[in-house]
Every structure is written in C-alpha cells, then in structure tokens.
Structure 1
C-alpha cells in the first residue's frame, strides 16, 4: 500500500480527534482538499481564522430499527444503532467506512458529523409487535457506540432500553462509554432476569496512549471502575481486549485481563486490529504521527498476519489473522484467561420471556 501524502489537518484544528485527515470515501469520485483564500503572497496576507472540527449532529427518522446480518464471525444475527458516526473518535474503528454510505468521509467526518436517531425506539416498538417477529438477542454497540457523548442530550439508547424492558426482550450491549451506568435502573433488573449483559472494551491501560488513540473515550481507569459498578449491580460483564494492535498494545493482554478480572469481569474476548478500506491509511497516518518509532513494526506485523496485505477480510480470518505472531497472541490470551478463571462466555440470554405489552410508552394500557 502506498501511503497517501496529502497534508494532515493542523493538529490545533483537530484537538481531541482521532483522524488526521478527511479523506474521501471509496464511493466518491472527487477528493476534497483544503485550499487558501487566493490572496496569499500578494501583499494581502490577512490570515482568516479557521474553525476547528466541531461536532455537528443531524437528526434522522429511521424507517427500520433492527439490522440483520448473517456473518459467521459474530454470535448474533440482529443489531440496532441509535447513532451513525461516533464522537469517541477511535482511530482504529472498523466502522469508519460506513460513513461513506452517507456521502461523508470516514476520516474526521465520522467523528464530527454525526446522525442521531432519537425516534428509533418507536420504530423498534412497531417491529417487535409484528406477528412475524422471531425473538433472539439484540446486539447494540457493535458498529458505533450507543453511549457516545451525544447520548447525554438525545437519550436515544435510554428510550430503546425502555422498550426492550417492556417487551422483556434480551439485549447484549458493547460499549466504551461510562454513561451506561446511568441506565442501571433498567439494566440491573433485566440482568437479574437473564435479559441483559454488557461488554466493556479496553484496548490499553496506558492513559496517554488511550487518549491519543481514543480521544473522547473515558480513560482506562474509568472503564475498569465501570466494570466494577456493573458487576456490583448484578450485570454480567465481559471485558473485550479489542483491538489488539501487534507491536503496540499486544504486550498488555495479561495486564488488561488481570485488571478487568479484579474489577469483576466474568468473561473475556479479543479481536485483532482490523483495517478495512479507508481505515488503513487513517491508521497509518496516526502511527507515523503519534508513535513513529513503532509504525513500521506494527505495519510489518499486520502484513505478516494477512498474507502480505494490511488486512484480509475473509470470514474466519479477519478477526484473528494467521501466522506465528497471531497464534502466539491467541495462545497468550487463552492461557491468561484460563489462569484468571474467566468463564468461556457469559450466561445465555433468555428469549422465553418475550411478550408484547398491551400498551405503549405513549399510550399505556388501562388494565
């Protein structure tokens, strides 16, 4: 892969952002380039202030709530996303290319031009009431994080949980956001009935590295405290060591597992760094800017794991990689998880309790 040499956006204009550029998506025919005013060098060099990359949020009324998938790499067949894009800004996020479907960049647009779907709970309510609906656990947070900062304003996830509670519908949540603790009044009773569990992602325990890679994510210590809070409330928690970045974070596998176990995590999982489509050049930018001494090693390890490519999207391969280093990482994880007494998986969610309530949140039943 030839590295794109388009200049990075000045660092002071992208503070607390992960991506360094706003590269065009793979569906675009034109590349967007920042240009000057046209007056430079003509004696009229009056600098015009440039605005930083501030968060903008559009509101969408979704036509459907539940997204189906048939991937053999994941243990669920349906998911829900209250938001498009993610303000957390994780540079490694495999969901970045999805912004291309909106005509937006997987770069800075992905973390600054967001779409909120605050009415998605109404659509979910309708879909769960269909006579043809077959119940199975609903996964939330598998694409973009439902507990990213804008959830504090829109509360889309909170409303979705209220619907799932009313239908006694099982849900599995994946998040880096400590805001999930706000909803323990719903998640606690659901978990007690076997209807909910939560996965908390920890990529590194190094606060400086975390802040650079995941600029608007709560720091690792806060996520460990979240695991403890969820566990004490009776919510089964899985720690997700994800993504493992070979040559950068792989040495932390055992320490992350130990810290999460001490906090109360019951199960653990891991995923190798995935760099589909536009994520690859964005991640390469980040490596050369933030950890230049390790950039070549990380990229070399990834190519060793993917047959000479930066990424191989084949099912059964993309989550783990192959080769000596991939096998060693998997073996280390398995040995540490066994030594620490992690369960193989969280308890299965109960689908037998599902029942359509007589009323709705807008029109409760009188009986």
Structure 2
C-alpha cells in the first residue's frame, strides 16, 4: 500500500539517483503494453522496471518508499535539475521531489500484483534468491564476452523462438545458430541448469557485467558487484543436440584462407553503409573470386552501395554474408579461416577466447 505518512528528509545525490534510473531504463516499455511497464518502481530500497521480457533493478538505499511513478516525468525532471542533491518526500498518492528551487509533485501508484504479473511479482521472486541460490560466475568477463559473441548467430525469425536465443549450458558451452551459422564458445562450467535466453535480453545482461547467476520460476537472473540485477524470461524448447552441432563444427581437410592486411580498413568503410537501427540486421557481403576479395554493403534508406576489394592468395570462389560487428571481433583473434574440401562451409577459430564460428557457403541449411 502507498504510505499515508509524510516521509521527510530523504536526501540523495542527483547523480546517484540518475545513474540508478539509467541502469534500469532498458526494462521500460514506452508502449505500456503491461500496466506500469512505463514506470519506475521503488520497493525495498531498490528501483526497478519490468516489461514481461526483462526486468532490471538497482539499489537506492536512501529512498525508503514503495510505489510506481512515470519514468518519463521523473527522469525528465531530474535531467533538467542543476543541483547536486534532491529532497524526496511522500504524501499519500504523491511523490514530492525538490531540486534547488524546482519542485515537482508526481502521481504515485500502488505496485501491480494482479495475476502474478507486474513489478511486484518480480521483486517477490527475487526475494526467494537467498544468498546460497546466487551462484558465482567463475570468469565473469569471459562469460559476458561469450554471451555477446553468441548473439551474432541468432535468428530474428520469431516463428522459431529457440533460434532467436543463446543456449547456455551447465558445462560452460554457450551456443547459437540460425541454421546457416553456428557459434560455440567454451568457458568455465556454471552452477545452474541449461537455459535458453533471448539474444535481445543478452544485450542488456552484458551491460552490467554480471558475476552471479540464479534461476527461478522461468526467469534467469544476473547480478553484478554493485547489486544491479537483470532478470530475463527464459524460453522453453529444445536446442540442437551436441552431437549434431559437433558434426557441423568439424571441418574436413580443405583450404586455409588468409585475409589481406587491409581487411580491417575495408570493413570499417563498408560498415558505414551496413548500419541499421538494430545490430542484428547489419550485414556485409564478402565474395572471393579469381584471387580477389570483394566486400560490399547497401544503405538501408538511400540504397547507396559500397564495394571495396583487395588481392587475396586463394583461387577458389566463395561468398558469404557476415555481421560487421561479429567480423570485427573475429579479426581481433584470427586473420584466417578454414574452408572444407567440398567448399560448403568455412570455420573461424578464436584460440585465445576459445570459440568456434562456422558459416555455410551456400543456400542450404548448415544445421
């Protein structure tokens, strides 16, 4: 219930409160398809957001009230304030905030608890995560790197939800495929059961650099040293079995392709034309023919096109599409790839970070 007692002398650094709000903003849904999904919720000295796909929360120890307020109004007011500290009080259904000479009275609502949905439900779920349920991620930096890397082979076809996800396995393998590409990263084992997490949720998880993980009630939770928590709905379904993936990842004796020294410059120039609103939609085409490599891309709006080329020491013909951001990461660890003797697929290997990336060189599925 909303407090009916006026709470005085709650003070907090404007910078600290703004930082907390910025951390949890990815959980907002401006369309407000769910009640309060466009609000910042305060409960148990945390601020959090929820949109039924992900929830993000962060501690704000100085703020001791419970309720939901408009995210747009609260953040908009704080972002225009010039003072370093804000005063906060609650009077029934109103949240009073003072920043210097500026004051605002924001409508505050009780947290939605209907049908086990909404912000209150996620908070209650997180309360179940006693300290022994949080499991330490052994190499948190590599874990986040592998998660993000694996998103690059996920599908955007929502009719096959499993393929839009990253498959995280207890034995440390992190995998993805859209049936034309396969990524497998191998890290340290994790102390939770296998789960499928949507690639879009991964983009928010890696922002907090989590070092702990837990699973409960169809959600996977990630926590960092500062106490930030990103919770994501897991997807039910069966990923491709390991034996099948191992077969795809194997390359029979074939040809080694060594990319030219200026491949990075070519990629930077071409990437400018491949940019899209969402990184998963970006791609460049690479074709090799008669000892020459060509890289091309087409702008989304103007349809302007770029093509760059260089000499390459291979006489075989091949072509494939690749995400510019993925290719950038690949080139940080290897300048070569292996093509199987049938010319059906090519494989990149990241020895330092322990990953494999296979791409099919044709029109049929890899997996």
TM-score class, shorter: under 0.3
TM-score (norm 1): 0.22
Task: Judging by fraction of residues, say which structure has more helix.
Answer: 1
In terms of fraction of residues, the more strand-rich structure is 2
TM-score by length of 2: 0.22
